[in-house]
């Protein structure tokens, strides 16, 4: 096992100029017409989008949207599935929080995960972490519930992130504090072992952001809160030991949610630090995905979410000020030039994702359905006037 600790000086933060703010919506932006949508996933090969909802305990847990070839939402392509998908529905007092679905494309299945929104107040059979596996048809639409279960080994703390690794058929999960584990799913979608296996990495706390690069077989984990560490590791074939491990203190912000991305194309690791400067931290990686050298820092302007379109060479950053900033990436994968800045007026951003195949950016927010409806009305009026 190789253990590495990196540190040292870093490059000075480049200050990126900003263009004028526009209220026009970029052509690639698609609003999810449901203010309850909180977690999004896109099928890797089929034109279908999955959105999980959070809020009313009796609200539906999953909505699917059929997509046009250009990635826009197809008219009449919305389908809703109920919350009876889980073992025990959240009770009428406590709400649940849905995580982004994991698409198991090779087996035509979809993995859903739900965590209690009020785990600190109450944690029992009606308010716990739950999983559900759905069978998908040839169009990616759910057809039936395959399995619904809870793990026997589950701490009294909510799930923060899940990740599906198809080669080993393992689901990796991180919890609110100090716990990360994996369990295996059979080809029938049922768990082979509900006990779960703790990850054999040094004691961790608040590792809420998790990414995996299959070609490197490496995990990238980011710590939220005190400590601000990132860890890069490879597991042994049986998942019970470490093949390599690197760790260092990297971020200062308290809540860098879902903000770690590794790019094999540019051999870079990207981190969003929600600290005082709201910086993008870019670490160079080797051809095998190991940390090497010192990072560069880039100011993003109060960013709270970042997503990348590496194929299109773009970085999307949503700010605390409600603005979307779009940066171009240079040949080394670094933000360059002044960003385009858009005031989308869509309320609080809950989740958004980028589909590199079409270049579309899907946004789930508290008011996106209103903005989308206004856009549709304007387009209809323009079409009518043209005729």
Domain boundaries, the chain: 2-386
Instruction: Give the distance from CA 226 to its chain's centroid.
Output: 22
- What digits encode the pLDDT tens for the residues 174-190? 887 767 889 999 999 99
Tokens of 11: 């490059």
Reduce the DSSP state of residue 271 to 3 states and report it.
strand
> Phi and psi for 41 in degrees, rounded to 5?
-150, 150
The H or E element spanning position 368 is helix 368-386
Which one-letter DSSP state was computed for residue 353?
E
Strand 96-98 to strand 62-67: parallel, antiparallel, or no bridges (unpaired)? unpaired
Q: 2 with 244: CB under 8 angstroms?
A: yes
Tokens of 307: 């997503």
Residue 209 has pLDDT above 50, yes or no: yes
Q: From start to end of 188-238, where are the E strands?
A: 197-198, 207-213, 218-223, 229-235
- What digits encode the pLDDT tens for the residues 278-301? 689 999 999 999 999 899 999 887
Reduce the DSSP state of residue 105 to 3 states and report it.
helix
The pLDDT value recorded for residue 9 is 44
Task: Identify the CA nearest to 317 among candidates 306, 328, 308.
Answer: 306
Note the pTM of the prediction, 2 decimals.
Answer: 0.87
- What digits encode the pLDDT tens for the residues 147-179? 988 888 656 678 888 999 999 999 999 887 767
Interacting residues of 16 by C-beta distance below 8 A, sequence separation 6+: 298, 299, 300, 327, 335, 337, 338, 339
The H or E element spanning position 244 is strand 242-249
How large is the greatest C-alpha to C-alpha distance in the chain, in angstroms?
A: 70
- The β-bridge partners of 165 are 170
pLDDT band at 3 (very low <50, low <70, confident <90, very high): very low
- Kindly write down the DSSP assignment for every residue of 283-350, as one continuous string: EEB-TTS-B-S--EEEE-SSEEEEEEETTTTEEEEEETTSEEEEEEE-TTS-EEEEEEEEE----SEE
The pLDDT value recorded for residue 18 is 60
Region of residue 117 (left: phi > 0; alpha: psi -120 to 50; beta: else) = alpha
Q: Which residue has the higher pLDDT, 56 or 231?
A: 231
Which of 66-75, 146-155, 227-236, 324-333 is the least confident region?
146-155
Query: What is the residue whose two structure tokens read 């197809």?
Result: 74
What's the order of all strands across the beta sheet hosting 73-81?
Answer: 37-42, 48-53, 62-67, 73-81
Handedness of CA 96, 101, 104, 108 (dihedral sign): positive
Region of residue 29 (left: phi > 0; alpha: psi -120 to 50; beta: else) = beta
The pLDDT value recorded for residue 7 is 43
Query: What is the residue whose two structure tokens read 């890797």?
Result: 44
Task: Identify the CA nearest to 322 among candidates 15, 21, 17, 108.
Answer: 21
- What digits encode the pLDDT tens for the residues 324-341? 999 999 999 999 999 999
- What digits encode the pLDDT tens for the residues 340-350? 999 988 888 88
Domain 2-386 has CATH 2.60.40.420: no
Task: Identify the CA nearest to 291 among candidates 250, 242, 235.
Answer: 250
pLDDT > 90: percent of the chain: 47
- Kindly write down the DSSP assignment for every residue of 5-24, as one continuous string: E-----PPPPPPP-PPEE-S
pLDDT band at 230 (very low <50, low <70, confident <90, very high): confident
Q: 269 with 285: CB under 8 angstroms?
A: yes
Reduce the DSSP state of residue 109 to 3 states and report it.
strand
Average pLDDT value for the chain: 82
Counting every residue written for the chain, the total comes to 387
Q: How far is the C-alpha of 316 from the C-alpha of 326, rounded, in Å? A: 5
């Amino acid at each position: 096992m190789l253990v590495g600790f990196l540190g040292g000086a870093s490059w000075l933060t480049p200050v990126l100029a900003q263009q004028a703010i526009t209220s026009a919506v970029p052509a690639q932006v698609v609003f999810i017409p449901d203010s309850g949508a909180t977690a999004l996933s896109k099928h890797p090969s089929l034109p279908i989008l999955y959105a999980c909802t959070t809020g009313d305990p009796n609200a539906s847990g999953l909505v699917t949207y059929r997509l046009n070839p250009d990635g826009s939402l197809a008219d009449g392509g919305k389908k809703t599935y109920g919350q009876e998908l889980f073992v025990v529905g959240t009770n009428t007092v406590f709400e649940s929080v849905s995580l982004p679905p994991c698409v198991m494309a090779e087996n035509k299945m979809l993995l859903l995960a739900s965590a209690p929104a009020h785990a600190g107040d109450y944690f029992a059979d009606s308010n716990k972490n739950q999983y559900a596996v759905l069978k998908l048809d040839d169009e990616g639409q759910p057809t039936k519930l395959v399995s619904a279960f809870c793990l026997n080994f589950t701490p009294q703390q909510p799930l923060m992130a899940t990740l599906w690794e198809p080669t080993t058929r393992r689901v990796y999960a991180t919890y609110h504090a100090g716990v990360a584990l994996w369990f295996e799913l059979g080809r029938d979608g049922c768990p082979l072992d509900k006990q779960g296996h703790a990850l054999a990495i040094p004691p961790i706390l608040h590792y809420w952001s998790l990414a995996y690069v299959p070609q490197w077989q490496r995990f990238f984990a980011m710590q939220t809160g005190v400590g601000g560490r990132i860890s890069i590791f490879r597991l042994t074939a049986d998942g019970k030991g470490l093949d390599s491990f690197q760790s260092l203190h990297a971020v200062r912000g308290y809540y860098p949610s879902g903000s770690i991305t590794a790019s094999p194309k540019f051999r870079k690791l990207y981190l969003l630090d929600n600290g005082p400067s709201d910086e993008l931290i870019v670490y160079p990686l080797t051809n095998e995905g190991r940390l090497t050298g010192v990072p560069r820092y880039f100011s993003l302007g109060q960013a709270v979410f970042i997503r990348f379109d590496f194929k299109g060479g773009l970085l999307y950053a949503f700010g605390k000020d409600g603005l979307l900033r779009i940066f171009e990436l240079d040949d080394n994968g670094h933000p360059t030039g002044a960003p385009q800045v858009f005031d989308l007026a869509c309320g609080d951003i809950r989740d958004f994702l980028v589909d590199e195949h079409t270049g579309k950016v899907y946004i789930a927010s508290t008011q996106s359905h209103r903005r989308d409806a206004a856009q549709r009305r304007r387009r209809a009026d323009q079409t009518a006037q043209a005729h």
